[in-house]
Amino acid sequence: MTTRSNVHRHKTAISRSDFSRPIRLAIRAGIVSPDSTLLDYGCGRGDDVRGITAMGVNCTGWDPVHCPAPPTTPADVVNLGYVVNVVEDPAERRQVLSNAWDLTKKALLISARLTHEARGMKISPYGDGYMTRRRTFQKFYTQQELREWVDSTLDVACVPAAPGVVIAFRDQQSRQLFLSSTYRRALRIPSVRQSDVLYEEHKDLLDQLAAFVVDRGRIPAEGELPCAGAITQQVGSIRRAFGIVRRLFGDTEWETISNSRAEDLLVYLALDRFGGRPKFSDQPQAIQLDVKAFFGAYTRACTQADELLFSAGNMATVDEACRKAPTGKLTHDALYLHHDALSDMHAVIRVYEGCARNYVGLVEGANIVKLHRAKPKVSYLSYPDFDKDPHPALSGALVVDLLNLNVKYWDWTDSYNPPILHRKETFVPPDYPHQQKFARLTKQEERAGLYEKTASIGRAREWEILLKEKGLRLTGHRLLQQRET
């Protein structure tokens, strides 16, 4: 990358003690693993390269200032982290993206700064972006602008991983596997209800079979389970082995798992319509087998998925689903949920929220989801101390307008009087680790008369004043009398 003499690109490289945001997302999604190779294209001072290498990943980096030897060997994954936004020449910016793509074997991560990040910065217009006081260039994108620029430059349909982060995949099947994994809920292997000599004798093999069935919701096809040959040799057949497992774990548990995976597949197919749902033969083999097991035919599955998608676009249907939700705090215009409770929601709610996530990707740090019931909007709210603070303060909110595809961000980190949460047990699923502790505090606060005027306790300062007036204080999740001085 060349640079104009009055633009100091070398000053944009920063040092960090942890992984950069796109690398964290790639690790979490399983895109970066010890089995893959990684090229950090525009690695700056090389902090990500050192951290990834320490994980056992074959990782190299290139930077025009700090590591100038040009890369020649393609890598499975290439990270173009916050590079395109500091290149002031639009033609060179496109060339940088194309060069990184040429070195990509499987997936290219592209990240850039978003428009809301320009707030409060001392910048002046320069070209199609801005010049900072340090004479560095910054190009700020909207989420849609970044996606469209990548798609048009590389002739791909990229996938949003997070606000300001998109992924371009080399092949359709890798793209579909990533998307399908995004909407699959976490399920646990049920507990064994009774003992069985044959199960105990082949426990290691049968546990692997059980794990597969929990993951896919069906019996493995030939070639899908590495230990299938050993199971057949020891037990007789895969079906007989699963019969043993099913009897021990219970028919009801396995029926629930199968239904859950069928719904996960519908949610994925419904949301995949936005990106141009591929033909059946272009779906990964595992998904093809899922479709045949749960729906018999791809056309039948797609028809049901379309019906589900259209239902999620009907606000009356969304409102009804929110009202019947098993978990969440229902207000006059929205349903508030902890993100761990989303997988327990009706498929209509999951697709409704999925429409927003399909547009912005994963919103890091957001642990409360606000599902608007009157207008098609989804808000992602960040409460950094949700588990520890009895009444955590809001630090930020990202709002996705599904009607206009606008994204707005609100920052509360420096607020003197931020919004706070009450009745935390209502937001979380019943099996949430701290649910009972949250509920006990709410009962204490109710008995103390702290919820008599709920309209006046939604902000931190008003809540502190009320506690002082009542002569009360909070120690962790316990309400105590204030000590006299």
Q: Tell me which residue range forms the domain holding 367.
A: 327-424
| Location of structure tokens 């009897």 | 247
Is residue 386 included in any domain, yes or no?
A: yes
Give the separation between CA 18 and CA 161, rounded to whole angstroms.
19
Note the pLDDT tens digit of each residue in 181-239: 988 888 887 776 555 677 788 889 999 999 999 999 999 999 999 999 999 999 889 99
Note the pLDDT tens digit of each residue in 97-112: 999 999 999 999 999 9
Are residues 232 and 300 located together in one domain of the fold?
no
Angle between helices 203-216 and 228-235 (to 10 degrees): 130
Are residues 338 and 458 located together in one domain of the fold?
no
Is residue 2 included in any domain, yes or no?
A: no
pLDDT tier at 9, thresholds 50, 70, 90:
low
Mean pLDDT of 396-410: 94
Are residues 73 and 159 located together in one domain of the fold?
yes
**Mean confidence (pLDDT) of the chain:** 91
Note the pLDDT tens digit of each residue in 245-293: 888 778 888 899 999 999 999 999 999 998 889 999 999 999 999 999 9
Note the pLDDT tens digit of each residue in 356-379: 999 999 999 999 999 999 999 999
Is residue 322 included in any domain, yes or no?
A: no
Are residues 33 and 126 located together in one domain of the fold?
yes
Are residues 47 and 91 located together in one domain of the fold?
yes
Mean pLDDT of 299-305: 98
Cβ atoms of 354 and 267 closer than 8 Å = yes
pLDDT score, position 71:
81
Q: Which of 375, 401, 424 is the last residue of a domain?
A: 424
Note the pLDDT tens digit of each residue in 122-166: 889 988 989 888 888 999 999 999 999 999 999 999 999 999 999
The number of distinct structural domains making up the chain is 5
Are residues 34 and 150 located together in one domain of the fold?
yes
Note the pLDDT tens digit of each residue in 412-456: 999 999 999 999 999 999 999 999 999 999 999 999 999 998 888
Are residues 447 and 377 located together in one domain of the fold?
no
pLDDT score, position 7:
62
Whole-prediction pTM value? 0.89
Are residues 219 and 344 located together in one domain of the fold?
no
pLDDT score, position 468:
94
DSSP-based three-state secondary structure for 334: strand
Is residue 342 included in any domain, yes or no?
A: yes
Q: At 126, give phi and psi (nearest 5°).
A: -155, 115
What is the DSSP track for 379-398? Answer: EEEE-TTTTTSSSPBP-EEE
Are residues 30 and 141 located together in one domain of the fold?
yes
pLDDT score, position 3:
47
pLDDT score, position 2:
46
